[in-house]
Amino acid sequence: MKEEEKFQIRPIISPSDKEFKNKVGAEAWEKIKSKTFRDNNFKCQGCGFEPYDVPAEKVLDVHLVIENENDPIDSEFRTTCVLCHVIEHADAAISQGYVALVNSKFSQGELVNICRNGALSSHVEDGDIRYLRKTLPEFLEELKDGRSLEGKVKFVFTEKYLKKLGINS
């Protein structure tokens, strides 16, 4: 089992990192960030992405997984790349049109790498990645109600979002 497969990104609604950051303050957040990066060996826990020619802070984020209300500093955090972080906040990603729903044999981490490498359209042509008929607002409602089929529905990035990042799909 590859390291990145231990953790599977699933579309859920995550707590806001920004609100958390405001709560603990900039200084504590910086400490949390460097500790989380170190703990995760400067590697995205969703897709395995490791920056090699750019500073980690530029391309990696820290995602608040579960907040410890009694001791926020001791909450659960995870290192993610920018793309996986978008998926962690599925509700926002959907409402901003950054992602589309698919069925695929690929894991979510693999799908992220396919998008990053500009290979999305060729996999769609081959039928390895199939867009779902369900609309994003329908799925968002299911997410809110907890009715979504966890792990069965996966995300790819929309052309609009990939263009924004400078990636040709």
Chain residues that interact with Zn ion, rule: CB under 5 A: 17, 44, 46-47, 49, 63, 81, 84, 88
Comparison of 26 and 133: residue with beta carbon closer to Zn ion: 26
Comparison of 84 and 94: residue with beta carbon closer to Zn ion: 84
Say which residue the tokens 């920056």 belong to.
51
Q: How far is the CB of 124 from Zn ion (least distance, A)?
A: 20
- From the list 97, 107, 169, the residue with the least C-alpha distance to 136 is 97
Q: How far is the CB of 60 from Zn ion (least distance, A)?
A: 9
Longest CA–CA span in the chain (Å) reads 50
Comparison of 63 and 123: residue with beta carbon closer to Zn ion: 63
Comparison of 61 and 123: residue with beta carbon closer to Zn ion: 61
Q: Residues 120, 114: contact at Cβ < 8 Å?
A: yes
Q: How far is the CB of 48 from Zn ion (least distance, A)?
A: 7
> What's the CA gap between 73 and 19, in Å, rounded?
14
Q: How far is the CB of 136 from Zn ion (least distance, A)?
A: 19
Q: How far is the CB of 154 from Zn ion (least distance, A)?
A: 14
Buried b (16+ CB within 10 A) or exposed e, 37-74: beebebbbbbbbbeeeeeebeebbbbbbeebeeeeeee
Q: Half-sphere exposure of residue 162, counting CA atoms within 13 Å on the CB side?
A: 20
Distances in Å between the alpha carbon of 117 and those of 5, 63, 113, 159, 163?
A: 19, 23, 6, 13, 13
Comparison of 76 and 138: residue with beta carbon closer to Zn ion: 76
